[in-house]
Chain A
Amino acid sequence: MSENRSRVTVHSKLTWVSSKPLGGKPHELSALDHAMALHTVHVIFYYRANPFERGLFDSDFSLSDLLCMYPPVMGRLARGDGGNWVVKCNDAGVRTLRASVGTTLDEWLRSADASEERDLTVWEDMPGDPIGCPALVFEGLMGTWLDELAIAMLGGRMGLSYVGSGAGAWIGRMDAVLGGRMDAVLVGRRGAVLVMLNEFEGGGLAIGLSCPHMLADPTCATLFFKSWTETNRGEPVCHPPIYHLPALNARRSLSTGINSIKYLETKSKSAESPSGKMATATFRLSHSIIKQCLAQIHDECPDATPFDLLAALFWIRIMRLKMPRHDQKHSLSICVDVRKPIHGPIPYGYFGNALHFSLLSMDAELLDTAGLGHVAGAVHRHVADLHEEELLSAMNWFESRKGENGQYAQPFMMYGPELTCISMEHMITPEGSTCESSMYEAAFRKGEEPVHMTYRIGNVEGEGLIMVMPSPEAGLARTVTVTLSEEQLAELCEDQAIMDLQPTMLLGGKM
């Protein structure tokens, strides 16, 4: 399947269940959840010491106890009555895989690239109704005629994707590409959350968590993981999950947020843009460098956050790499999480999607010539102007697209087609709060914090993705993950402005 041999070997697979039987009513998904149906979320935490050395069954029952609080995580996605997706809380459990990696942790962080990192989580493209997803994944355990058909179609664009966790769970819809040879549509129950434990040589563990974006966004996947570590340490869970927010379902007619609605409308109608081979690189920037840069742009933008700075910087550099078109506007899609630690209709613990996408446009010329400070200022103003009303009006818009029988409209690509920048600033603990929320506090045992964590969003199309995340080093340090086409990424890695920041390159592949 991959040209170079993967260094990850899966050696066992089982299902982890909660300590008490749960069950209950199906968990309904909101309009925004349905909109994210085409994507998947993958989170990988890297640890230097392996807290599960003695094997899963011998260790504490922390995951079993934790799962009692998360019935949707234990359940399976299925179409409910009325055609919308619901999570059937049937206690089916979290599929857990164990794998071993052929190198040490440090070697991996230095030399692995994005496609190898994919092997650390179960990478399943789970679209809504098939619209022709470019990626094909199959587990190779099937050994049925479907495998042969799949192999025959590798390398081309087809509408076949592996959905779910077992036999009878392939959705195949052949476009005209294949002349309608196979029109069998076999839909089974689809898996929800999968966890993979990868052991490195010489100690070290990478825990990969993947789930459909419909069920959870990166923030709540991280909070679930954090709750697991808290339960393992015997501490109470900081942010217990909240499943239903009446505020999200209330329909209000708002005059604000017209821009977002226009943006969403354009997005829904945009044609699929063919994307070539994408590659990813991770830049770790230290606290002192960011502080220096912020000081430099202090005159133009006094309140800039590291996100503003880095989003602006990377946007400018990436735009310079593309064919400069001076007559057009360049756009940056900014994705912000709308959860607020205190107050606000969407609390931290909300389990579901609370992401807001908005568009920031600038003239190409202005982008080229204006300084970093100016662009950072624009980003800052844009982000500061976002309120939860905008998200609610976006929700209203999704609701309004419901069909007559109450079924939500077809989902479309939410990440893309233009360059998307995701902010994880909300995960930084504000000073003086009681609960640490930064993901780098997620230690299974005291003192063993993760050395690195990666987010990946599945099925991203378009120009690329920039993610600005916290770093293990506290303060203003940040880690920036950039996904671009291969050539552009190679050039970006040698870009002078970025090299001036003395980034530590991680997971850049064997470059």
Chain B
Amino acid sequence: MAQILPLFTSSVKLKYVKLGYQYLVNHILTFLLIPIMLATALKILRLGPVEILNVLKSLRFDLVQILCSSFLVIFVATVYFMSKPRCIYLVDYACYKAPVTCRVPFATFMEHSRLNLKDNPKSVDFQMRILERSGLGEETCLPPAIHYIPPSPTMEAARGEAEDVIFGVIDSLLQKTNLNPKDIDILIVNCSLFSPTPSLSAMVVNKYKLRSNIKSYNLSGMGCSAGLISIDLARDLLQVHPNSNAVVVSTEIITPNYYQGKERAMLLPNCLFRMGGAAMLLSNKRRERRRAKYRLVHVVRTHKGGDDKAYRCVYEEEDPQGKVGINLSKDLMVIAADALKSNITTIGPLVLPASEQLLFLFTLIGRKIFNPKWKPYIPDFKQAFEHFCIHAGGRAVIDELQKNLQLSAEHVEASRMALHRFGNTSSSSLWYELSYIEAKGRMKKGDRVWQIAFGSGFKCNSAVWKCNRSIKAPTDGPWQDCIDRYPVHIPEIVKL
């Protein structure tokens, strides 16, 4: 009992010390300015009004001097406002909801697996073990072509899936934002593994009869982090083109890429990847400020492709039987952690409050100069952000990030629940998670959101958004019929 008490008191003391330190450092300017302002105010009040007038009269002001100084002020202000980067607003976004007929319960998946991989019971067992521990639920969806025994991934079926997902999600976005298709100035579509000719962005231009001078881009092959790469591209374009709207569509078309062989490392994506897509409307127009949901603050991209191991860790190749699949290497988690560290190092100074940065600096100096054995200080990102959207790449990714960033269960709840309900929808999973946070009514004005995505290559990209207006729990959206059931407890291993 006596031992617990000192620990308790010491921990309480430490907590208050930390709080005090944070307040002091983060508001240091206020702390410095207030005494100065008070002193000046006191001094002015001591002098009477007559004395002040006398002081002013003594300063002789020439007309030329006044004019020049005012021009200087105006000139500096203009230069400042012109060089300020435009504000990029996320007006609204829409996520795809697959029809219930595409649902894949565990038992159906395993039966199909047993039928399709008749001669490879070990591979079937492997898939079962992965599915049990995957963190997916019974309502995730696969496209119709994959429901057949054996799957029939024709190009027509892939185009069909692309049309269903992309047109569905754009229709939803146009309806939500009342946007006229003719008003879209920039169109960016990203889909990593399906890249037909003409491109998917051309497909969108054709369907919605967009303008002939539209700036359209189609990004393929960039993996699950392509969503944030598209946002980055849209941001850069919106800096160059004033008064424009940009529509970004992120999706992953599963039909042509369902692995039909039996290599275990390549069967893993089959168990995790599911149908999904999202469309976002970004704008730099001033009048969107009223109704925009978020403002883009930072986008930080880190590419570890220079390292050979990182480059090969997610690699699409043919297996010994000639079937194409995506090979995931065993050091995926290590490489991901490394890429994350790199990304954090860049984004830390941009978002962390001064207190955390100072602590990090002191620890760094200490480690370099005094004692290399000091533990590196992991900045507390919970002070920089209210909400976290971690790409739902798999249970392991979320667990790893939760550990590395020292996040609580509530912070990663959006990611876990999006993985459970929709599976790994690749680049669009961040938007399902954001939708979850909104649907739960947790998004308030001024909240900062951190979206982290990993992708093949190996890339780690982050985007920081600031909530522009308080968002009432929306009545539409992919979570509308099931949000009341969440959060659910996801067991370690589901018994199949």
- Residues of A that sit less than 8 Å from B by CB: 12-21, 23, 56-57, 61, 64, 76, 90-93, 142, 144, 165-168, 188-189
Contact = CB atoms under 8 A, between A and B. Distances in A.
Contacts of B107: 76, 90-93
Interface in B138-172: 138-139, 144, 147-149, 152
Identify which of B121, B138, B147, B148 gathers the most chain A CB atoms within 10 Å of its CB: B147
A18 B99 CA distance: 11
B149 A21 contact: no
Given A165-B115, A166-B114, A166-B115, A15 B147 contact: yes
B179 to A, nearest CB: 28
Closest 5 CB pairs of A and B: A92-B107, A19-B100, A21-B138, A91-B105, A90-B107
Given A13-B148, A15-B111, A92-B111, A144 B105 contact: no
Interface of B: 99-108, 111-112, 114-115, 118-119, 121, 137-139, 144, 147-149, 152
Contact of A64 (B100, B137, B148): B100
Given A57-B99, A167-B118, 19 more contacts: A12-B148, A13-B149, A14-B147, A15-B108, A15-B111, A15-B112, A19-B100, A20-B100, A21-B105, A61-B101, A91-B107, A92-B107, A92-B111, A144-B118, A144-B119, A165-B111, A166-B111, A168-B114, A168-B121
A319 B100 CA distance: 55
A19 to B, nearest CB: 4
A64 B101 contact: yes
Contacts of B112: 15
Contacts of B144: 57
Contacts of B121: 167-168
A224 to B, nearest CB: 18
Identify which of A19, A56, A92, A168 gathers the most chain B CB atoms within 10 Å of its CB: A92
B152 A167 contact: no
Nearest to B496: A90
A344 B370 CA distance: 90
Contact of B101 (A21, A57, A91): A57
A171 to B, nearest CB: 16
B126 to A, nearest CB: 16
Given A13-B148, A15-B149, A21-B138, A91 B108 contact: yes
A170 B138 CA distance: 29
Given A61-B99, A91-B138, A92-B111, A142 B104 contact: no
Majority SS at the chain A contact face: loop
5 contacts: A17-B105, A61-B100, A91-B138, A93-B107, A166-B114
A166 B105 CA distance: 17
Given A91-B108, A167-B118, A14 B101 contact: no
Contacts of A142: 118
Contact of B103 (A12, A19, A92): A19
A14 B105 contact: no
A91 B100 CA distance: 14
A92 B149 CA distance: 14
A64 B98 CA distance: 14
Contacts of A91: 105-108, 138
Identify which of B99, B107, B121, B152 gathers the most chain A CB atoms within 10 Å of its CB: B107
Contacts of B106: 90-91
Contacts of B100: 19-20, 61, 64
A64 B149 CA distance: 19
Contacts of B148: 12-14
Nearest to B150: A13
B157 to A, nearest CB: 10
Contacts of A168: 114, 121
B149 A14 contact: yes
Contacts of A19: 100-101, 103
Contacts of A167: 114-115, 118, 121
A166 B118 contact: yes
B108 A92 contact: yes
Contacts of A23: 138
Nearest to B152: A12
Nearest to A189: B111
Contacts of B152: 12
Contacts of A76: 107
Contacts of B147: 14-15
A96 B104 CA distance: 15
Contact of B108 (A17, A56, A61): A17
A57 B157 CA distance: 12
A93 B149 CA distance: 13
Contacts of A57: 99, 101-102, 144
A60 to B, nearest CB: 10
A17 B149 contact: no
Nearest to A91: B105
Contacts of B103: 17-19, 21, 64
A188 B113 CA distance: 14
Contacts of A18: 103
